[in-house]
Amino acid sequence: MKGENMESNFVKLAAIDVSKHVEKKQNLSYLSWAWAVDQLMRADPAANWEFHEPKMYGETMMVSCTVTAFGKPMTMHLPVMDHRNQAIKNPDAFQVNKNMMRCLVKAIAVHGLGLYIYAGEDLPASEEPAKPSSAKPIAKDVFDSMPPDEQEFLKELAMKVIAEFPNEEAAYAAYIEASINLDADEKTALWSLFDSKQRASIKKTGLTQQKAA
């Protein structure tokens, strides 16, 4: 019964359309941390979170946050980054605080809320089969319209994901990590770099993990 409740809670949060609460700043999209916390506390009034001591890696910093919801703690990490996904050298207090709140949202997402955004999707996953569309050529057009340096950056991300196949779970985890800080166009362009089998595998694995959570 407990496992069924956990699955129900995850599915309920994962089904929420968060698109109206995404804030776009320069090249990145952010889910409002205040709204994410509001939704989490409505779903589980006993939910809580903890920020861990930041860790330095040379001149850069990693922040971490554990969110406990429905009795399950989930920890996520995030480098202190700028709007181009580049780690900031010797970040100041303002930059650290901003990325701590982004890490909080990321930790809430693994409980279901807004997770589909990190998977590069436009809408929450459903169990209905996807309808054929012209999404692939449109995605390719988005990639082709990007400057060369951005195309190379996305190709490198795609290769890291592809390198994990045929281990589908590892590839899915690599895809989530690769797309987590991309804006909508970058996610669309990244998606276009995978072939149909790879895309199908990523979607299937993501849906399977949602059901198993």
Least confident of 38-42, 58-62, 131-135: 131-135
Question: Are the CB atoms for 154 and 188 separated by under 8 Å?
Answer: no
Domain edges within the chain: 2-118, 135-212
Highest mean pLDDT among 1-15, 44-58, 111-125: 44-58
Residue linked to tokens 């279901």: 112
Question: What per-residue confidence (pLDDT) applies to 88?
Answer: 94
pTM of the model: 0.58
Q: Whole-number mean pLDDT of the chain? A: 83
Residue-wise pLDDT tens digits, 69-100: 999 999 999 999 987 778 999 999 999 999 99
Q: Distance between alpha carbon 172 and the CA centroid of its chain, in Å? A: 11
d(CA 55, CA 178): 21
Candidates 120, 121, 140; CA nearest to 180 is 120
Q: Residue 171 pLDDT > 60, yes or no?
A: yes
Please give the CATH number for the structural domain made up of 2-118. Answer: 3.30.390
pLDDT band with cut points at 50, 70 and 90 for residue 67: very high
